[in-house]
Amino acid sequence: MTLSKTLIRAQHFCLLFTSLIKRASVLIKRTSAVKRTSLIERAAILITTAAISTTSAHAEPSLIPSPPSLAAKSYILIDANSGEVLVEHNADLVLPPASLTKIMTSYVAAHEISNGNVSLTDKVRISVKAWRKGGSKMYIKEGDFVVLEDLLRGIIVQSGNDASIAVAEHIAGAEDAFADLMNQHALALGMDHSHFVNATGWPAKDHRTNARDLSLLTRALIQNSPDHYAIYSEKDFTYNKIKQRNRNLLLWRDITVDGVKTGHTEEAGYCLVASAEKDHMRLISVVMGANSSEARAEESQKLLTFGFRFYETHQAITANDVLTETKIWMGSRDNLKLGIKDNIVITIPRGKADSLNAELDINSEIRAPIIKGATYGHLTLKLNGETVAEQPLVALEDIQNSGLFKRLRHFIYLFILSLL
Which residues are annotated as catalytic?
A: 99, 102, 159
State the amino acid at position 318 in one-letter form.
T
Q: Give the other-Cβ count within 10 Å of 68's Cβ.
A: 15
Phi, psi at residue 184, to the nearest 5°?
Answer: -65, -40
State the amino acid at position 100 in one-letter form.
L
How far apart CA 280 and CA 303 sit, in angstroms, is 17
- Give Cα separations from 336 to 11, 46, 374, 388 (angstroms): 36, 18, 12, 26
312-349 burial: b if 16+ Cβ within 10 Å, else e: bbbbbbbeeeebbebbbbbbeeeebbbbbeeebbbbbb
DSSP-derived 3-state class of residue 26: helix
How far apart CA 284 and CA 267 sit, in angstroms, is 24
E-state strands within 91-241: 123-125, 145-147, 236-239
Q: Give the other-Cβ count within 10 Å of 309's Cβ.
A: 10
The answer for residues whose C-beta is within 8 angstroms of residue 149's C-beta and 6 or more apart is 120, 121
Quick one: the chain helix, strand, coil %, rounded to 5? 35, 30, 35
